[in-house]
A and B are shown apart, each in its own frame.
Chain A
Amino acid sequence: MSGASSVHAHVKPAPVGGSLFNGVTFVAGVLVLVMAAILLVRFVFGLGSVTAMNDGYPWGIWIVVDVMIGSAFACGGFSVALLVYIFNKGEYHPLVRPALLASLFGYTLAGAGVIFDLGRWWNVWNMYWPWSVNPNSVMFEVAICITLYIVVMWIEFSPVVMEKFGLREIKKKLGRFMFFFIALGVLLPMMHQSSLGTLMVVVGSQVHPLWQTPIVPLLFLLTAIIMGYAVVLFESCVASSAYRRSIEMHLLTPMAKVMLGVVAAYLLVRIGDLLVRGVLGGALQMSLEALMFWLEMSCFVAPFFLIGTEVQRRTPARLFVGGILLMLGGALLRLNGFLIGYATGGGYQYFPSIGEIMVTVGMFATEVLGYIVITRRFPVLPREA
């Protein structure tokens, strides 16, 4: 590409370099090993041997946290691509690679998390077998879309690997079709992130009215986009602090404004839906559900006070906390809709077991470990001046 047409001249990505062995990678490595040990027990003795799941709560944190929340945290790649390639905000381009990497990891792990949770995992091929699939099933749509998206993200990320190994020819050829994979990479998360919300519609009145709504796909889509930007804020802050790099405030400040716009749209839709369905009364009772609802809503409202003004958005610490709050808000929407606000009756209780928690922790540790290894060895983060 000639210099004249590249309007958004940006810094080349480069490996960060440095040692792969340090305190963080050691702890993460130990946590990954603990997870592996627990999973071994799970596969030999069954789900009941390590989880607290039961017939009243057939989905625990492996689904709700590792898959639902984990994949939403992995929406950075999607949210940034939406901004750069669809809304043509090329100045954000340096954010694409790191966001895509985190997404790739998040989704690949979410996919693995599904396998850990499947009681009859050896039958999973039926999900893709034309004579078995059930197009009426929301989960079918989610599974197909997530599988495809993982493949698409690996294709989107492959130039990084090709650069590393000097495969310039293939990279060039792939580059010609990249627009299509980018478009797919925007469409697929739109489809499955919304459908992850639709999953609970068939469950009917077992989900508390504060979370059971026919517009739940829109709520999940908007919050996935929000969480995508929030995660980019979070990661940029952590990466710059951990690698002692300068922080890309000239990009994060305006991106935070875009993010707040989506939050405002989300709050309008969310509150409007509660009013139209006339179920806000459920939030005024003394109950765990009501408490969790207000906690969830506060996480979406608080950022307006924290990073509502341009001046506030120029403070990295504020962006960091704002990002965390919105990640938490989106996570709570999912946790509330799938676990806290879900009740089958019959006196069933659920609280995750140590084994379940350690696997979830191990999943996040895998992500941190992978992110460190790849950013230190592959050209992902912008080269420091």
Chain B
Amino acid sequence: MVVASGPVLQIARGSICTISLGLITLTCPLGFIQTSLASSSIVLGLVVPTATIVAATILLGRVFCGWICPAGNVMQHFGDVGRSRYLPGLRLTSFFQQNSTRIVLLGSTLVASAVLRYPVFCVVCPVGIICRNVISLVHYGSIGLDLLLIPGIVALELVLAPWCAHICPLGTTLSVLSRKSTIVPVIDKAKCVVCSICTKVCSLKVSLIHSRALEDCSKCLECSVRCPTNAIEWRKRAES
């Protein structure tokens, strides 16, 4: 919502691909890597804006996914609801739930960018598509056919896997950076009643009970808010 309202209210300059608020400019790290690969050079103007997001991600994990991305949560919600309503019996293949699959997907977009010489994922990125269409709508009253990709991705989600947790290459990039994130959710074993609500509500499919995929944690705080016994705390990693 922050990102969508930025261009509308003219507070921020740009879209999520590169956005400026006053003197601070931020850039999508995946966009930086793709454009650098596509042009066989380091895009100097993006170095500092990328570094800012990278630093934030290393410290806090996938906060971008939890608090800034306007696309992911929405699409994934439709995916989850759609799947439970229309395809109740469907068992998602474990293929996409393996970590290696999403790494390969990310790798493919990077290779494609280098070979085809343009940032391939930037064109289909749902976040980018939403931002650009908001800007074009506000500035000259029209939207593009690329918006159709959004329901297309939701449809893929229904049969393949949740977008944010298992497919999104930007998310994968941020996960890689988050491996050593300093703040993590921790269960107080004394209070925990093993109800698994935290696992069910996590939009990034982090399994807190099994301490699995903690690097995917987006700090959306949903688990700690919904825990019936307030057993979840946010601590520095060293202490856990």
**Chains A and B are bound partners:** no
Give the interface of A toward B (CB within 8 A).
Answer: none
